[in-house]
């Protein structure tokens, strides 16, 4: 049998020590800062957005050009007033498309003759006036390159990191399957096509905090937009626009032309942009007033993938996001066909998005992963399209993708991926292949092959894992399963994906992802409902239900009888042996008990006979659970479950180890080290790290060297997120919770993102992502904030009392001031009073804790 072991992080230990202590309570209002790591006692973080998940869209490809010279500002204001002004804070009566619309003319650059001596730089009025739109200290406050990071003790910029490089440009696929349906859009050719491009721009905090929407509007203004292109933008969903034109009191509509910004309707009304009716109304407005033979729709905002859908409206937080079934309804009610639908938002390049949009569009452009802050780069592809409005759609998509990946590689260390899917081909080739693939999964899990699917699922490229979206690359998943039906689906999807480009670190991101649950099944009911509404294959929904049902079966015994998975680390620290507690039912132990037949299969069947799922999963609907399937496979489930009495430490060659069989290790997906510091009154949670070693016999060595991760030799709480292991190539991600620039107007609760990989084994900082509180929808924010010299970090920790009850967040240690390169290393804990143990997660999502060491 294959020697299957998880990969641990390579640790560098430096000399010296660092103290561990908490300061005053931190009023974050967000619950445990460990919430997104999947740690014991943590709440699911599907409500967090870090769409980009913490990840806001940093200031993108270029800083705003607004100067501080008062006379220039006065001149520019006069220019705009002469052209016709718009009071962004004044309500006005709604207007239709005016015959002489308000227009903000962009003046031409001042021309200069060749000087005889070095002159002062000429003033580019175009750039400055567009910067007036940008409004913009926000743009300059965001750096476009990651700074103050080290790789092997050498400062590294985003462009120096091998991880920010992009895969080589290649031709887009031209061939189309004969099974593809006819395209909705008929291209006339020879540049005779009229193209209406609808940009639905929900600004949200991306704009109010960072001016990202304004940056992209500036990119559009810089394009040479042809007269036969109608570039129409609806704005809304934002508390504060970082320019003096858009209003935060009402939605507005504009047309972007080669001469500037034209106001079409300055008072559409204050409407939630995550409401399907608002999107429908915008599409109908464009259809009526700007008829064209080619139409495109771009949805700009946060995104949360298949389960959460599109958008977060800062003015209507309680309305949540726009799920795919509501997006589908908006498109259906608008009764319009599109050349392409694109998402300048995170995580929307999914199978479910393709199914939802296929009846209305020929192509889908979307990202499987969270988008970096710069998002799409609009100037070049709009200019190229303006020169030939008959440009094939695949080539338009390729240009968008190439611009996106290239600009992102220059400005951020975020991983990137973007693809264009031919929905006409998708509709003709994928449904049958998906149905057969789905049936094969259902058949496999109803045999002795659940572990095969579980291991394939665990090793498949996953996106935004820390947010528990359960979104994975579908082609990678199919290839890892390796059946004939799986390969057929992978081939059909590959044929429909006409172009896909990624950063080099984005391995096995092939262009389309899907929802497939693992460990957490809390979203299954909602996803099945959405699938039913958008017309997803019932066979695929059945495959999800059947796999999740067996996963639920594997969680029933630990959850319902108090064994294993419902124990916690702190219970172990406080004396519960092996991380599981004695059953409250009065039954005896697993191995020697007589209740329920004295075996796990008997316990499982006993629960199915009269147990209450709500006792395990709360009030969530569990109608989807296939109890007959679980019952048929009770013995198989039991055979692939770790028995708690096996999680013990033994002496071997002078050291404590956890010795399991190869069969048992094959049931373990993750291993992680938990460390708590006893400060005399309670426990400071130092976090969770994937540092561990195995001996020559394959046993897990149970030892803690008393060191913990530090930045510049200052210990910090750290939480491991995921490991992507491809043998020689690997990537490990984690985060440090902190308050960025505490006490300033720019204060933000963030997660400092760390990455370790085969090129940089000791790690580096990729940036900071915003931590969103639980009242925010499940969509995620774009991009990472780059740390810069002078930034302050006040680290955050969770604190528990001596009974193991969570108390509050506290500030941790001294304030950290960013100043030059940051070294990541382990250092000894001063006056070490720490307790540690390992957390093991099995193929059903149950967690087990070893005794402390």
Q: pLDDT digits over 328-368, tens only?
A: 999 999 999 999 999 999 999 999 999 999 999 999 999 99
Residues of the chain with pLDDT > 70, as a percent, come to 76
Q: Residue range 167-179: average pLDDT?
A: 91
Tell me which long-range contacts 388-392 makes (C-beta under 8 A, separation of at least 24). 388/191, 389/191, 389/192, 389/193, 389/194, 389/195, 389/226, 389/228, 389/229, 389/294, 390/187, 390/188, 390/189, 390/190, 390/191, 390/192, 390/193, 392/187
Q: Alpha-carbon Rg of the chain, whole angstroms? A: 28
* Cβ–Cβ < 8 Å for 129, 67: no
Range picked from 1-15, 190-204, 550-564 for highest mean pLDDT:
190-204
Q: What is the pLDDT of residues 609-659, one digit of tens each?
A: 766 666 666 656 778 999 899 999 998 888 888 887 788 999 999 999 999
The pLDDT mean for the chain works out to 80
Burial of 107 from C-beta contacts in 10 A (0-12 / 13-18 / 19+): middle
* pLDDT digits 0-9 by tens, 401-414: 999 998 888 877 67
pLDDT in the model for residue 35? 65
pLDDT band, residue 118 (cuts 50/70/90): very low
Supply 535's token pair.
């017309």
What mean pLDDT is predicted for residues 512-540?
Answer: 94
Tokens of 512: 């389309």
Q: Counting runs of H as helices and runs of E as strands, what totals does the chain give?
A: 23, 33
pLDDT-derived band at 158, boundaries 50, 70, 90: very low
749 contact partners, CB below 8 Å, separation of at least 6 = 28, 30, 737, 738, 739, 740, 770, 771, 796
Report the length, in residues, of the chain. Answer: 853
Q: 731 pairs with which residues across the strands?
A: 724, 757
What value does the mean pLDDT take over residues 799-822? 94
| CA contacts within 13 A on the Cβ side of 280 | 14
So what's the pLDDT on residue 831?
94
The reported pLDDT for the residue numbered 420 is 98
Q: Are 537 and 510 in contact (CB under 8 A)?
A: no
The kind and range of the H/E element at 849 are strand 847-849
User: 729-746 as b/e, with b when 16 or more CB fall inside 10 Å?
Assistant: ebbbbbbbbbbbbbeeee
Instruction: Say what percent of the chain tops pLDDT 90.
Output: 59
Nearest to 784 by CA among 140, 143, 317: 143
| Rounded distance between C-alpha atoms, residue 237 and residue 72, angstroms | 31
Would you say 508 and 473 are in contact if contact means Cβ atoms under 8 Å apart? Answer: yes
**Local structure of residue 91 (DSSP, 8 states):** -
pLDDT surpassing 90 at residue 5: no
Ranking 153-167, 459-473, 679-693, 736-750 by mean pLDDT, the lowest is 153-167
Stretch 467-479: mean pLDDT: 94
At 427-459, the pLDDT tens digits run 999 999 999 999 999 999 999 899 999 999 999
pLDDT (mean) for 82-87: 31
Torsional sign, CA 278, 284, 290, 293: positive
So what's the pLDDT on residue 607? Answer: 75
**Strand-pair category, 707-711 with 824-829:** antiparallel
pTM of this prediction? 0.82
CB 711 within 8 A of CB 822: yes
Pairing mode of beta strands 707-711, 294-300? unpaired
Average pLDDT over residues 522-532: 94
Order the strands of the 824-829 sheet from edge to edge.
13-18, 824-829, 707-711, 714-715
3-state helix, strand, coil in the chain (%, to 5): 30, 25, 45
Could you report how far apart the first and last alpha carbons of the chain are, in Å? Answer: 30
Query: Residue 65 pLDDT > 60, yes or no?
Result: no
Q: What is the mean pLDDT of residues 168-191?
A: 94
pLDDT: which is higher, 547 or 160: 547
Question: Looking at the predicted structure, is the pLDDT value of residue 506 above 50?
Answer: yes
Name, in order, each residue with C-beta under 8 angstroms of 166's C-beta and a sequence gap of 6 or more.
Answer: 405, 406, 408, 409, 416, 501, 502, 503, 504
Please list, residue by residue across 634-666, b when 16 or more beta carbons sit within 10 angstroms of its beta carbon and e when fewer do. bebbbebbbbbeebebeeeeeebbbebeeebbb
pLDDT at 681 exceeding the cut of 60: yes
Closest CA to 373 of 302, 468, 460, 457: 302
Contacts of 672 (CB under 8 A, 6+ apart): 688, 689, 690, 692, 720, 838, 839, 841
Residue 777 is predicted with a pLDDT of 55
Helix ranges, 275-350 (H)? 276-289, 305-308, 324-334
Whole-number Å distance between alpha carbons of 736 and 754: 8
Task: Please list, residue by residue across 336-368, b when 16 or more beta carbons sit within 10 angstroms of its beta carbon and e when fewer do.
Answer: bebbbbbbbbbbbbbbbbbbbbbebbbbbbbbb
Mean pLDDT confidence for 757-768: 92
Instruction: Compute CA 80 distance to the chain's CA centroid, rounded to the nearest angstrom.
Output: 40
Token readout for 51 is 């769409």
DSSP string of 338-387, one letter each residue: EEEEEEESTT--BHHHHHHHGGGEEEEEE-SSPPPTT---HHHHHHHHHH
Q: Is 81 exposed, middle or buried (0-12, 13-18, 19+ CB in 10 A)?
A: exposed
Q: Is the pLDDT of residue 141 over 50?
A: no
The DSSP-derived string for 596-626 is GGGSHHHHHHHHHHH--THHHHTTS--TT--
More confident residue, 681 or 82: 681
Kindly indicate the confidence band of residue 73, based on its pLDDT and cuts at 50, 70 and 90.
very low
């Amino acid at each position: 049998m294959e020697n299957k072991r998880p990969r641990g992080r390579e640790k560098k230990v430096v000399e010296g020590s660092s103290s561990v202590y908490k300061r005053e309570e931190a009023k974050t209002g967000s619950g445990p800062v460990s919430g997104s790591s999947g740690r014991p006692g943590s709440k699911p973080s599907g409500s967090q957005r870090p769409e980009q998940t913490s990840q806001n869209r940093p200031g993108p490809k270029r800083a705003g050009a607004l100067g501080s010279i008062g006379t220039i500002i006065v001149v520019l204001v006069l220019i705009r007033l002469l052209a016709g002004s718009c009071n962004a804070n004044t309500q006005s009566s709604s207007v239709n498309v005016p015959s002489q619309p308000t227009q903000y003319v962009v003046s031409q650059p001042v021309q200069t003759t060749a000087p005889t001596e070095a002159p002062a730089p000429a003033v580019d009025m175009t750039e400055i006036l567009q910067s007036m739109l940008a409004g913009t200290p926000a743009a300059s406050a965001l750096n476009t390159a990651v700074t103050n990071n080290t790789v092997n003790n050498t400062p590294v910029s985003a462009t120096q990191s091998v991880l920010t490089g992009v895969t080589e440009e290649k031709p887009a696929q031209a061939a189309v399957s004969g099974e593809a349906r006819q395209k909705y859009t008929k291209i006339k050719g020879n540049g005779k096509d009229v193209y209406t491009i609808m940009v639905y721009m929900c600004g949200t905090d991306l704009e109010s905090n960072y001016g990202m929407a304004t940056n992209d509007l500036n990119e559009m203004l810089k394009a040479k937009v042809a007269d036969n292109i109608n570039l129409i933008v609806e704005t809304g969903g934002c508390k504060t626009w970082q320019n003096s034109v858009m209003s935060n009191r009402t939605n507005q509509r504009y047309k972007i032309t080669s001469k500037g910004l034209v106001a079409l309707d300055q008072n559409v009304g204050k409407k939630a942009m995550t409401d399907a009716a608002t999107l429908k109304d915008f599409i109908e407005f464009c259809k009526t007033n700007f008829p064209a033979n080619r139409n495109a729709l771009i949805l700009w905002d946060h995104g949360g993938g298949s389960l959460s859908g599109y958008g977060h409206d800062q003015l209507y937080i309680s309305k949540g996001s726009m799920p795919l079934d509501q997006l589908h309804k908006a498109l259906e009610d608008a009764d319009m066909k599109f050349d392409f639908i694109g998402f300048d938002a995170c995580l929307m390049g999914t199978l479910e998005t393709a199914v939802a949009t296929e009846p209305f569009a020929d192509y889908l452009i979307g990202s499987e992963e969270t988008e970096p802050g710069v998002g799409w780069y609009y100037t070049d592809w709009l200019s190229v399209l303006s020169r030939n409005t008959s440009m094939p759609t695949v080539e338009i998509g390729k240009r968008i993708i190439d611009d996106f990946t290239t600009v992102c590689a220059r400005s951020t260390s975020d991983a990137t991926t973007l693809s264009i899917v031919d929905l006409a081909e998708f509709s003709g080739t994928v449904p049958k292949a998906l149905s057969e693939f789905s049936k094969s999964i259902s058949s496999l899990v109803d045999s002795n092959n659940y572990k095969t699917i579980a291991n394939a699922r665990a090793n498949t490229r996953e996106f935004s894992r820390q947010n528990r979206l359960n979104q994975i690359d579908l082609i990678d998943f199919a290839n890892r399963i390796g059946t004939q039906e799986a390969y057929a689906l992978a081939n059909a999807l590959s044929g429909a994906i006409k172009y896909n480009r990624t950063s080099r670190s984005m391995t096995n991101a092939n262009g389309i992802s899907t929802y497939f649950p693992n460990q957490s099944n809390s979203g299954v009911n909602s996803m099945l409902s959405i699938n039913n509404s958008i017309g997803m294959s019932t066979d695929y929904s059945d495959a999800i239900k059947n796999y999740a049902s067996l996963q639920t079966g594997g969680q029933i015994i630990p959850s319902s009888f108090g064994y294993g998975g419902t124990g916690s680390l702190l219970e172990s620290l406080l004396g519960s042996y092996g991380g599981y507690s004695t059953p409250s039912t009065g039954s005896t132990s697993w191995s020697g008990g007589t209740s329920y037949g004295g075996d796990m299969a008997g316990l499982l069947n006993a629960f199915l006979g009269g147990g209450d799922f709500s006792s395990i999963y709360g009030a969530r609907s569990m109608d989807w659970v296939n109890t007959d399937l679980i019952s048929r496979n009770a013995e198989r489930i039991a055979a692939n479950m770790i028995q708690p009495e096996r999680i013990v430490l033994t002496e071997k060659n002078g050291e404590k180890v956890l010795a399991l069989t190869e069969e048992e290790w094959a049931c373990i997906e993750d291993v992680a080290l938990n460390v708590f510091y006893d400060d005399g009154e309670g426990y400071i949670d130092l976090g969770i790290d994937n540092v561990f070693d195995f001996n020559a016999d394959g046993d897990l060595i149970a030892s803690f060297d008393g060191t913990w991760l530090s930045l510049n030799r200052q210990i910090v709480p750290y939480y491991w997120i995921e490991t992507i292991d491809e043998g020689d190539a690997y990537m490990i991600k984690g985060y440090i919770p902190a308050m960025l620039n505490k006490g300033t107007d720019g204060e933000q609760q963030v997660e400092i993102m760390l990455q370790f990989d085969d090129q940089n084994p000791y790690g580096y900082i990729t940036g900071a992502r915003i931590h969103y509180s639980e009242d925010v929808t499940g969509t995620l924010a774009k991009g990472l904030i780059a740390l810069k010299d002078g930034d302050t970090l006040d680290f955050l920790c969770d604190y528990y009392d001596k009974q193991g009850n969570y108390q509050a967040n506290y500030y941790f240690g001294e304030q950290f001031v960013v100043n030059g390169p940051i070294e990541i290393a382990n250092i000894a804990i001063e006056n070490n009073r720490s307790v540690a143990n390992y957390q093991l997660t099995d193929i059903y999502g149950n967690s087990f804790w070893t005794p402390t060491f």
